[in-house]
Structure 1
Amino acid sequence: MIKLGELEKLIEITLFTGYIKDERPVSLLIVAQPESGKTELVKKAKRVKGVLYLTDATAWGIINKHWDDIESRKVRHLIVPDLTVPLGKQTETRKALT
């Protein structure tokens, strides 16, 4: 089992991958029991340059509002602290995200 300090380091390293020249950023999915500290850890990352922190999202909303920043690499990582919110939408909306 990973400890919170180790997970915090893993998040930090993942965010650094967005700045490696000519490489694609690494993705990270954190899965753990409720109340294990996941959300509090990722909330710290929302202050990091290049991070777009979204509590709710649709594919249309991301493309419509944030695509230019993603394409220009102003945004290098998307953080969604709780996937149950965007994945709890209607079937067609949810399918567009996956």
Structure 2
Amino acid sequence: MYKFHVSIFFSISEEFLKLVPKHRSVINDLILKGIIDSYAISAESGKGWVIMNCKSKSEAKIHLERSPLYDYFDLEIEQLLVYDSQMYRFPKVVLN
């Protein structure tokens, strides 16, 4: 299993906004299954970023094709060499 960074570019329209709840359902499912580690959408531009666990770029694309917003997306998918975050660290010890 490899980690992939997906950059998503899109334009928002009324039709796009109508599909967001169904899209969020797909994303939530992929997060629960451990396929998506993180998912972020910019509040200022039509950009999003996803970190995915997949065997290949084509598998990452197949998962994203499940989204009803897929036709609105321009994607860049890159395999990561290094990925680190607080999520992969031990919790901080708090002595109370």
Shorter-chain TM-score bucket reads under 0.3
| Higher share of residues assigned strand | 2
Larger Rg belongs to? 2
Normalising by the residue count of structure 1, what TM-score does the alignment of the two structures yield? 0.26
Normalising by the residue count of structure 2, what TM-score does the alignment of the two structures yield? 0.26
Query: Larger RCO: Structure 1 or Structure 2 (Cα < 8 Å, ≥ 6 residues apart)?
Result: 2
